[in-house]
Amino acid sequence: MPGPLSHLTVIELAGIGPGPFACMLLTDMGARVIRIDRPPAPARGGLDSLMRNDSVVDRGRQSLALDMKQPGAVEAVLRLVEQADILIEGFRPGVAEKLGLGPAACHARNPKLVYGRMTGWGQTGPLAKAAGHDINYVSLTGALHAIGTAAQPVPPLNLVGDYGGGGMLLAMGVLAAHAQAGHTGQGQVVDAAMTDGAALLMAAQYGLMAKGFWVDARESNFLDGAAHFYGTYECQDGKHVSIGSIEPQFYRQLLELCGITDPHFQQQWEAGEWPALRAKLAQVFRTRTRAQWCELLEGTDVCFAPVLSMNEAPDHPHNVARGTFVRDEGVLQPAPAPRFDRTPSALPKKAPRTGQQTRELLAAARYSAAEIAELVAGGVAFDALP
């Protein structure tokens, strides 16, 4: 595989959400990721159907399907652990230990292994064993309270907890631990909690609040929709544009290019004037279509961009020039990032079918052909469904 992590082997105990996203980041950068799946079965509907074998987030894996309730399956995973650099699991605390695949069991086979644990609440604390989702984790950190309208918090999709505060934090954590293991020969456990990660993403806001520059209320601050110079505006055609003219030189250019001469706009940082100034600026943006505003403002220092839909974004000239999105076998998806000049990443293969590499991976774990046949016949290991 191309990419800077082509020397790494990662074991992924299959789950949903941030753990798979962390593994997607690793495989995008060249790591070999072996996903341990449950036995293949028809999708049960609901979230199972939505998340299983996701053609984007699960790209690049190899799939080994095992019935983890059987001791033979646990032994197969431990044999793979002996050859791995990193293991990632996203169970509730204690579940991996009950399976026989906790950190102690894995480190007994491979002391250098980095053991990454992805949870919402973390491995410790009074909520550690409770169920939850992204919206609950970001609620506990102040992040959700800060996002939305003055009347009500609005979930920022599941980007702040699951993916930014979860998957990306875990990927960084296991790579840091792997770098340290390279110096000491000793692995360690990485406890990545979405509550911790979402709190970290709020570092700037907590810092601004400490200096008296942030009010702990929605739509009261320059980055949360209150300020007229940082927000979105509807255009004549019903589409929207975004403005981020924070710095005075950028704000001046906004006024100049929009032909605004009203002296009221000179009170940029008077928070009490923001509602009236926002209403006035909204009237200005309703005078042209989004395309017309793009022609006037895009590429300037106004800090401007059109608000594009998911279908529109891949066709924007900037995204096209950089190859930010790719299409593989008809599936539109974000390309691997960041960019590396010496060891560039490439789009991995599409997500495997559950159990697609079962026999190949068991052979790599030093099982003979006869032993593999016995594991499959005994319902310990499973081939992919046709």
Tell me which residues are annotated as active site.
133, 162
Question: In this structure, are strands 32-37 and 61-66 parallel, antiparallel, or unpaired?
Answer: parallel
Give the C-alpha separation, 251 to 257, whole Å.
10
Kind and range of the H or E run holding 135: helix 134-139
DSSP string, 325-374: EEEETTEEEEPP-S--SSS---PPPPPPPTTTTHHHHHHHTT--HHHHHH
Give the C-alpha separation, 61 to 175, whole Å.
18
Give the C-alpha separation, 380 to 374, whole Å.
9
Give the C-alpha separation, 378 to 375, whole Å.
5
Give the C-alpha separation, 88 to 15, whole Å.
10
Q: What six digits make up the tokens of 156? A: 């920022």
Q: What's the one-letter identity of residue 215?
A: V
Give the C-alpha separation, 364 to 68, whole Å.
19
- Strand spans (E) along 58-140: 61-66, 86-89, 114-119
Beta bridge pairs of residue 61 = 33
What would you report as the CA-atom Rg of the chain, rounded to the nearest whole angstrom? 25
Q: What dihedral angle (degrees, nearest 10) is formed by the CA atoms of 180, 183, 189, 190?
A: 10
> Among 85, 88, 90, which Cα is nearest to 51's?
90
Give the C-alpha separation, 194 to 164, whole Å.
9
Give the C-alpha separation, 225 to 278, whole Å.
10
Beta bridge pairs of residue 63 = 35
